[in-house]
């Protein structure tokens, strides 16, 4: 395993982050036994960065992690969770108000059976709550020792910089990471967010590096719904499945065959070769998915490979964050 400092912080994280959105999803994810096996293999491979969120399987992902963490040294793991999305139908069970942020953090800590989070994300922008209220709440969690570092996810660059400026203005804790949507099929973050993060010394931890599985190269242009996940994945239909997307997938498969690796390794390796990228979030429902991700660390893409993979990309219409 290789490691990199998270932005300009002194926190070292593995170059692959294990995403746990699949943990506890009965139709398309993995059960607790398989999840624990994946976690053990990740740690045995030298991985330390584990990502979850309260909303993943309605807290089930955190609970599965909470059943695993007591069996390993806590300092071995860089544990991240998130808040923002609804965790119930009652008022104040969503958003980035002080009430919801603090309650969400404390609930995550209980489910995870730990005293602190290494990294706590706001999971998306709140159009209602003043940014001062949100950033002060996150700063308080850091000062209380419940959170070590904070990050943001899935927002416009102007929203991100506004939050950073607010933190700087008041002497509050700044974001050290951005978890954004970035892969070979969605590269709009290259316009502003990625240059912004590089300039500001913020680590980039992209989600969906395999484009909801399309870049694994196991689906065809005319039969994209073979897996249970694909059959129920409305977001994939929103983000992907353009004709040009399938042409890019074809090039990933072609490069993989030439290099003697699998397409997933090429897609992840492409991200690892891009400026500013710290650690892509890779989900896994089977051990072999994790093995492919770890092997991507050793895949070397030439400048010609990178250009060939990127050549067909066409800018998209504005995508709303979900």
Distance CA 173, CA 272 (A): 28
* Catalytic residue, candidates 56, 84, 94, 182: 56
Query: pTM higher than 0.85, yes or no?
Result: yes
Provide the pLDDT confidence category of residue 222 given band limits of 50, 70 and 90: low
Q: How many residues does the chain have?
A: 322
23 is written with which tokens? 């943990």
* Nearest residue to 69 (alpha-carbon basis) of 32, 104, 106: 32
Provide the pLDDT confidence category of residue 294 given band limits of 50, 70 and 90: very high
The reply to whether 308 belongs to the active site is no
**For residue 218, what pLDDT is reported?**
85
What's the whole-number mean pLDDT along residues 130-144?
98
For the ranges 122-126, 150-154, 191-195, 315-319, the lowest mean pLDDT is seen at 315-319
pLDDT tens per residue, range 85-108:
999 998 899 999 999 999 999 999
**For residue 319, what pLDDT is reported?**
62
pLDDT exceeds cutoff 80 at 238: no
- Count of beta carbons in the 10 Å neighbourhood of residue 2: 12
pLDDT exceeds cutoff 60 at 46: yes
pLDDT tens per residue, range 240-278:
888 999 999 999 999 999 999 999 999 999 999 999 999
CATH of domain 3-310: 3.20.20.100
More confident of the two residues 219 and 60: 60
**For residue 322, what pLDDT is reported?**
41
What proportion of the chain, given as a percentage, has pLDDT over 70? 94
pLDDT exceeds cutoff 80 at 225: no
Strand-by-strand arrangement of the 203-204 sheet: 203-204, 175-179, 147-153, 117-122, 78-83, 49-51, 17-19, 281-283
Distance CA 316, CA 299 (A): 29
The answer to whether 179 touches 207, Cβ cutoff 8 Å, is yes
Sole residue written with tokens 């680590």: 203
What's the whole-number mean pLDDT along residues 301-314?
97
pLDDT exceeds cutoff 60 at 230: no
pLDDT exceeds cutoff 50 at 130: yes
Provide the pLDDT confidence category of residue 165 given band limits of 50, 70 and 90: very high
């Amino acid at each position: 395993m290789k490691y990199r400092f998270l932005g300009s912080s002194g926190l070292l994280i593995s170059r692959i982050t294990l995403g746990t959105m699949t943990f506890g999803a009965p139709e398309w994810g993995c059960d607790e036994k398989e999840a624990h096996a994946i976690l053990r293999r990740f740690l045995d491979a030298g991985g330390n960065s584990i990502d979850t969120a309260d909303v993943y399987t309605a807290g089930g992902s955190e609970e599965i992690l909470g059943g695993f963490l007591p069996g390993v040294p806590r300092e071995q793991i860089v544990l991240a969770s998130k808040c923002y999305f609804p965790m119930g139908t009652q008022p104040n069970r969503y958003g980035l108000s002080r009430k919801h942020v603090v309650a969400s953090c404390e609930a995550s800590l209980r489910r995870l059976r730990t005293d602190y989070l290494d990294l706590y994300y706001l999971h998306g922008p709140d159009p209602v709550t003043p940014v001062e209220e949100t950033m002060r709440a996150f700063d308080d969690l850091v000062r209380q020792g419940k959170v070590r570092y904070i990050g943001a996810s899935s927002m416009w660059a102007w929203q991100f910089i506004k939050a950073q400026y607010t933190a700087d203005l008041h002497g509050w804790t700044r974001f050290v990471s951005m978890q954004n949507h970035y892969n070979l099929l969605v590269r709009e973050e290259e316009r502003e967010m990625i240059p912004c993060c590089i300039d500001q010394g913020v680590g980039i931890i992209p989600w969906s590096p395999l484009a909801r599985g399309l870049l694994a190269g196991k689906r065809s242009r005319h039969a994209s719904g073979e897996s249970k996940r694909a059959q129920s994945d409305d977001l994939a239909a929103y983000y992907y499945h353009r004709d040009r997307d399938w042409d890019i997938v074809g090039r990933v498969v072609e490069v993989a065959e030439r290099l003697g690796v699998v397409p997933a390794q090429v897609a992840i390796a492409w991200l690892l070769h891009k400026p500013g990228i710290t650690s892509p979030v890779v989900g896994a429902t089977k051990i072999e998915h994790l093995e492919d991700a770890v092997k991507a660390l050793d895949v070397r893409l030439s400048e010609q490979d990178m250009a060939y993979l990127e050549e067909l990309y066409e800018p998209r219409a504005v995508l709303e964050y979900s």
